[in-house]
Structure 1
Amino acid sequence: MTPMSLRLTATLLALAAATPAAAATKNIFSSEFYKLSNTDFIVLIAFIVFIGVLIYFKVPAMIGGMLDKRAAGIQSELDEARALREEAQTLLASYERKQREVQEQADRIVAQAKESAKESAEQAKADLEKSIERRLKAAEDQIASAEAAAVKQVRDEAARVAVNAAGDVIQKQLSDAKAAILVDDAIATVKAKLH
């Protein structure tokens, strides 16, 4: 018998001794008590037989075994719950660590994006300044080219007018032979200066 079934048997015997029939009778040792006409005696015998049948069929041991099984089941459920709690705490710590890592990575990405945007803005500003300088240089070159072309055109026109005027003056003042020589020299000089 297990300790639990022994305790249960002792409890049942104590209950038998403390039955209402035994408590109601003034003296259980008198001969009047043990007569079959006394209902208290009959109830006491029935109760003792009932307790005997329970002990014979090992009901206290079965009840003790069932209680032991139930206690073992509860203990195993408690152990499983404790293990699940520890596993949940481990998972929670793991997820919190991963969340911190992801947050740190996101912060690094944002910082890199800000730095990259700042560098891109500075590069765009430098590129814009260079582009403006190139356009100004191109405009200045075009102005200088147009100015040089205008100066050349004015010189060419002045040379043509001077040649015509010189030709008119020479024609009026020189003879035909001398004029032809001067004209040829002037044309050669103008040709040399124009090319």
Structure 2
Amino acid sequence: MLDLLAAGAGEHAEASAFGLGPGAYVALSMIVVIAGMLWVGLPRIIAGALDNRIEGIRKQLDEARTLRAEAEKLRDEYARKAGEADKEVAVLRASAERQAEEIVEKAKADAAALIERHKVISAEKIATAERAAIEEVRAKVATAAAAAARELIAEKHGEAADRKLADEIIGNL
């Protein structure tokens, strides 16, 4: 017996039931599981799930294409509008520049007219002041002349000369 034990110590015996080894039981179990899956219709369920997933992906791709087409359409529309806006800005800028030039020219003309009016008004004021000064000088000269004449007449004319002058004036009348 020791020989059997010594000889069998390096090897061990494989268990078996009903004449089948462990590998056969694993194979039999796999066959049963696969048959159960086929009987339940698991491939059909998996195929249906995959088909649904594929259909969902197709819908998403179609929606993405539609959205892309709409985005391109909007991009083109906005590009067109931006071009129109640039043209309108250029027209408005040109118009504003023209109006600014007209305003500057009108301001220059108005300033020149205002300066001319001020010159005329100043000339009139100067002329008025000159006339007033001349009148004042004339009045002073007349007053001085009258005073001088009075003094001269008082000195040179006496009573007899005044009578003679009065008689002449009365005789002429």
| Pairing 1:4-153 to 2, within 5 Å after superposition | 37=20, 46-153=29-136
TM-score, structure 1 length as denominator? Answer: 0.59
Gaps of 5+ in 1: 1-34, 185-195
Count residues in correspondence: 150
1:77 Cα deviation after fit: 0.9
The TM-score, its normalising length taken from structure 2, stands at 0.65
SS at match of 1:60: helix
Give percent identity, aligned residues only: 35
CA gap of 1:180–1:103, structure 2 versus 1, over 3 A, is: farther
In 1: Cα distance, 2:129 partner to 2:153 partner: 33
Q: Which ranges of structure 2 fall in alignment gaps of 5 or more residues? A: 1-17
Aligned residue in 1 for 2:163: 177
- Find out whether 1:168 has 2:172 as its counterpart: no
Equivalent-residue separation in structure 2 for 1:182 and 1:82 (angstroms): 133
Answer 1 or 2: higher relative contact order, Cα 8 Å, separation at least 6.
1
Report which stretch shifted further, 102-111 or 112-121: 102-111
Rounded to whole Å, the distance in 1 between the matches of 2:47 and 2:136 is 129
Contact 1:54 1:60 in 2 (8 A): yes
Letter in 1 for 2:102: E
Q: Residue type of the partner of 1:98? A: K
Aligned mates of 2:81, 2:19 — CA distance in 1: 83
Question: Cα RMSD (Å) of the superposition?
Answer: 3.6
Partner residue in 2 for 1:188: none
